[in-house]
Structures are given as structure tokens and as C-alpha cells.
């Protein structure tokens, strides 16, 4: 079977949910692709004050995206930094933890089950035969290295996935991204990108790739991968003399922290199957128009997918898998008395600036009235 089907699969998997602070809708569609490699996670109540949303766009197979959808939010929640209130550090460690967890016997077994290589019953039998070594039971739950078996030397998958995650806690939004899935916020109808597409030709990415011994050909890492950051893709992470964030391809996420306010309408997380067809502002405008007559957010997402689906595979655009999560904030987000509410009619969130820790706290900036863009934004993808 080739890359594309003769007719697209337009059936959609959709869901809606809400809590006292927000509501969300989600929809996914295989489209023209021969297989579905996207995955997502939506947990409006990760804990009593926190919501978690993630979009994962797999390449070379579906297993890494499905693995992230199953485990990444769990690792964020388990982190000591999370318990201490440092969500940015916790989510950053969770991205790296995905690569660690996909190695060895347990990693192989989980990926095999997710990839339908073995059924869950076979996986259970193998787990009984190749049981973990002795030790504290609680430690074994999170330390997969304890499990031994015929695949103990498994170095991890050659396939990979993007990861774009949005975490809402009280009046703060944390966005973590590795790859070219994207998170956009609508503030008073204006679209602002809260993540950066990690393409190999970006200067910072190119420098890391070259220093790690890689090269870029035709816009691809080692002539193969069109992304500079991803979870999985372990063939690009084999230099034992370099830390995880310095490998040819890294799971190291950029993290953006935004103070939410009543001017914030919604956020969108979507894979590049959407962004290849619509700009950030075009999508925000389309959503606002749909919300005038449609209250169900998953239906709005479905209409976006239908809008992006190509009539044929001639151009390639509109032929990818498509996944989108729309998160709408309930008003008021914050009251004027709350010190954390920094929004005003002339302020907007910023995209990431380059910094050693890859963590940026977005603060109000003056809008360029001629262009509608924020001053000091990331020149690699201008604010819209």
C-alpha cells in the first residue's frame, strides 16, 4: 500500500469535555494517509487545579505517538517538580523520560502492544515470564529498567513523534513543544503562536545538529527526518558522549508560560496536517465564525478537518492525518483583584526567545499597531 489511499477515510473520532474553568472539543481524521499515526490526550482534570492537553504526530509508524498519549501526562503528574509547583521543569523532564521509557524489555513490550505486533494477552504472558527483579514495588512501577527479558538491550524505536502539550493551572498556561505541531492562542480574536516549528534549517537547530555529527540535506536531518526535535527517532540519539539535549535530534521541548486573562478566547493544539492548510490567523478566524452558530466544540473541530481535507492527492497539502484540540476558556478567567491577571487591550503573549533553559515567561508587550504583531517576537515565525 502506498503513502495515500485511493479515497480518503473521513470518519472522525471526536469528543467533548469540560470543568468549571474550561471546555474542550477534539477531533481526529485519518484522511488520505494509508494509516493513522496521530494521537492525543485530553484530561480537563489532571488534578483539582490542572488541565492537560496534548497532540502527538507520529512519523514512521504510530507507536511513539500512542506511547506519548498513554504515558507523558502520567510522568508530568508523577514528577517531584510538579508536586513542588514547577510545572515547566516537570513537563520538560517528562519529554526526556519518554525516550528513556521506550528502551529495554518493558519499552519494547509496550511499543509492541501499542503497535499491534503482539496482543495484550501475549504481552501479559511475556511479562509473567520475564518478570522484574526484586526491589521496592513502587520503584518498579516507574523504573522500567528493572524488567529483564530477551529485549533488554532494545535501544528504542526508530520511529518518532512530535509532542505539543498545553497545561492550564489556575490562570497560567504552560505550552511545551518538540517538533512541528503547534499551539496557538486567540486573544481578542488575534492569533499568537505559543510554540515554534522545529525545522532543521533553524539556526539553533542547525548548529546543534552539526555539532553532534549530523548534517542537513534537502531540509532534512541526515537527509531523512524533516524535524529537528522529536520523541523517539533513537537512531539520531546514539552519541554516548553527549547529553540528551545535545543529540542530533532531541526531545528537549521549548516551554512558554502565559498569564491568562479575560481577553483570551481559546487555544488550539493541532498537528501539521492542519497548519499546512491554514495559517494561525486563518484558523482562529474560522473558529470564531463557526462559534457564532455552533456551540459544540468537537463539531467545530470536525468542520476544520473537513475544510482542510484536499479533494485529491495531487498537491499533497490536505492529505495528511489531522488532529485538533480546541480549548475554550470560561469567563471570567480572572478578576481585576488577582495579581496574576496581567492582560490589557494592548498586551499579548510572546513566542519563545532563545535562552539556555528553553523556558520563556510571556509578559505583556506593546502591539505594533501597523502590523498587529508584538515587538520582540520570534523572527522564525512572526506573530500573526
Closest CA to 126 of 100, 88, 154: 154
pLDDT for position 174 = 98
115 with 97, same domain: the answer is no
Element (H, E) at 121: helix 120-129
Q: Using one digit for the tens of pLDDT, what is the confidence trace for 184-221?
A: 999 999 999 999 999 999 999 999 999 999 999 999 99
Closest CA to 159 of 240, 69, 224: 224
Answer yes or no: is 381 within a domain: no
Between β-strands 231-232 and 160-161, what pairing exists: parallel, antiparallel or unpaired? Answer: antiparallel
Answer yes or no: is 300 within a domain: yes
DSSP 313: S
Mean pLDDT of 252-274: 97
127 with 270, same domain: the answer is no
State which of 91, 120, 146 marks the end of a domain.
Answer: 146
Answer yes or no: is 382 within a domain: no
255 strand-pairing partners: 176, 359
* pLDDT at 373 exceeding the cut of 50: no
Answer yes or no: is 216 within a domain: yes
258 with 127, same domain: the answer is no
Q: How many CA atoms lie within 13 A of 278 on its CB side?
A: 25
Residue 309 sits in which domain range?
Answer: 4-103+156-374
Answer yes or no: is 383 within a domain: no
283: CATH? 3.60.40.10
- pLDDT-derived band at 350 (thresholds 50, 70, 90) equals low
Whether 111 and 157 have beta carbons less than 8 Å apart is answered as yes
Closest CA to 29 of 312, 292, 298, 294: 298
Element (H, E) at 123: helix 120-129
For cell 528502551, name the residue. 103
Mean pLDDT of 306-313: 96
136 with 225, same domain: the answer is no
222 with 122, same domain: the answer is no
Model-level pTM? 0.85
Whether 23 and 16 have beta carbons less than 8 Å apart is answered as yes
282 with 205, same domain: the answer is yes
Beta strands in the chain (DSSP E): 4-18, 22-33, 38-47, 50-59, 160-161, 163-169, 172-178, 182-187, 190-193, 216-217, 220-221, 231-232, 254-259, 264-270, 322-329, 359-362, 367-368, 373-374
Amino acid at each position: 500500500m502506498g503513502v495515500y489511499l485511493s479515497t480518503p477515510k473521513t470518519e472522525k473520532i471526536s469528543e467533548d469535555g469540560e470543568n468549571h474553568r474550561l471546555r474542550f472539543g477534539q477531533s481526529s481524521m485519518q484522511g488520505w494517509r494509508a494509516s493513522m499515526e496521530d494521537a492525543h490526550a485530553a484530561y480537563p482534570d489532571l488534578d483539582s487545579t490542572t488541565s492537560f492537553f496534548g497532540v502527538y504526530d507520529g512519523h514512521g509508524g504510530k507507536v511513539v505517538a500512542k506511547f506519548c498519549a498513554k504515558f507523558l501526562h502520567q510522568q508530568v503528574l508523577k514528577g517531584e517538580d510538579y508536586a513542588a509547583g514547577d510545572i515547566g521543569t516537570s513537563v520538560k523532564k517528562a519529554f526526556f523520560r519518554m525516550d528513556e521509557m521506550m528502551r529495554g524489555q518493558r519499552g519494547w513490550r509496550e511499543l509492541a502492544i501499542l503497535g499491534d505486533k503482539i496482543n495484550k494477552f501475549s504481552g501479559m504472558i511475556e511479562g509473567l515470564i520475564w518478570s522484574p527483579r526484586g526491589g521496592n514495588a513502587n520503584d518498579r512501577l516507574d523504573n522500567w529498567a528493572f524488567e529483564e527479558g530477551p529485549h533488554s538491550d532494545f535501544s528504542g524505536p526508530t520511529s518518532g513523534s512530535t509532542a505539543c502539550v498545553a497545561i492550564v493551572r489556575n490562570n497560567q498556561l504552560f505550552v511545551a513543544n518538540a517538533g512541528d505541531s503547534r499551539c496557538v492562542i486567540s486573544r481578542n480574536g488575534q492569533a499568537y503562536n505559543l510554540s515554534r516549528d522545529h525545522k532543521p534549517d533553524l539556526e539553533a537547530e542547525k548548529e546543534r545538529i552539526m555539532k553532534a555529527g549530523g548534517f542537513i540535506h534537502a531540509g532534512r536531518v541526515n537527509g531523512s527526518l524533516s524535524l529537528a526535535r522529536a520523541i523517539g527517532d533513537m537512531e539520531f540519539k546514539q552519541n554516548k558522549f553527549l547529553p540528551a539535549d545535545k543529540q542530533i535530534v532531541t526531545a528537549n521541548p521549548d516551554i512558554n508560560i502565559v498569564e491568562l486573562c479575560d481577553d483570551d478566547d481559546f487555544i488550539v493544539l493541532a498537528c501539521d496536517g492542519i497548519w499546512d492548510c491554514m495559517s494561525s490567523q486563518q484558523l482562529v478566524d474560522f473558529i470564531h465564525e463557526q462559534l457564532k452558530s455552533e456551540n459544540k466544540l468537537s463539531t467545530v473541530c470536525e468542520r476544520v478537518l473537513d475544510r482542510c481535507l484536499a479533494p485529491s492527492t495531487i498537491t499533497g497539502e490536505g492529505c495528511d492525518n489531522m488532529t485538533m484540540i480546541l480549548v475554550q476558556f470560561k469567563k471570567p478567567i480572572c478578576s481585576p483583584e488577582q495579581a496574576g491577571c496581567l492582560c490589557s487591550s494592548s498586551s499579548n503573549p510572546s513566542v519563545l526567545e532563545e535562552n539556555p533553559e528553553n523556558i520563556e515567561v510571556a509578559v505583556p508587550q506593546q502591539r505594533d499597531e501597523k502590523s498587529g504583531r508584538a515587538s520582540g517576537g520570534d523572527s522564525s515565525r512572526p506573530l500573526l
